[in-house]
């Protein structure tokens, strides 16, 4: 995956990291099934937040959330690469 926000980047300047994410998400409307992808990521994010609330145990479904986020970002990267190839 070509796009990512490093942990240090997100911690050092959260506002800049948010802007970077928003810029990436502007292409959501171009995806074939954007609603399903976004709902899957939101469900996983909500579950992650709820499980971290006052807990010290390992989050068992963090891999699923990672896969959901990676899938969404991969689809957006495909759109970016297609644009690059089209303009070349």
Q: Is residue 2 part of a domain?
A: no
pLDDT of residue 47: 81
CA 36, 38, 44, 50 dihedral sign is negative
Look at the chain and report how many structural domains it folds into. Answer: 1
Q: Is residue 44 part of a domain?
A: yes
Q: Give the domain extent around 63.
A: 7-87
pLDDT of residue 57: 67
Confidence of residue 64 (pLDDT cuts 50, 70, 90): confident
pTM, to two decimals: 0.61
Task: Calculate ∠ Cα 20-24-83, nearest 5°.
Answer: 130
Taking CA atoms, 19 is separated from 13, 34, 51, 54, in Å, by 10, 20, 27, 29
Q: Is residue 58 part of a domain?
A: yes
In this structure, how many other beta carbons lie within 10 angstroms of the beta carbon of residue 32? 7
Residues contacting 48, CB < 8 A, separation 6+: 59, 61, 62, 65
Q: Is residue 65 part of a domain?
A: yes
pLDDT digits (tens, 9 = 90+) for 1-36: 556 778 788 888 888 988 998 998 899 999 999 999
């Amino acid at each position: 995956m070509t796009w990512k926000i490093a942990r240090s980047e997100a911690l050092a300047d959260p506002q800049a990291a948010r802007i970077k994410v928003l810029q990436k998400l502007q292409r959501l409307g171009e995806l074939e099934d954007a609603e399903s992808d976004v709902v899957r990521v939101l469900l996983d994010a909500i579950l992650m937040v709820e499980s971290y609330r006052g807990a010290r145990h390992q989050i068992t479904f963090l891999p699923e959330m990672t896969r959901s986020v990676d899938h969404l970002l991969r689809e957006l990267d495909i759109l970016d690469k297609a644009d690059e190839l089209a303009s070349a």
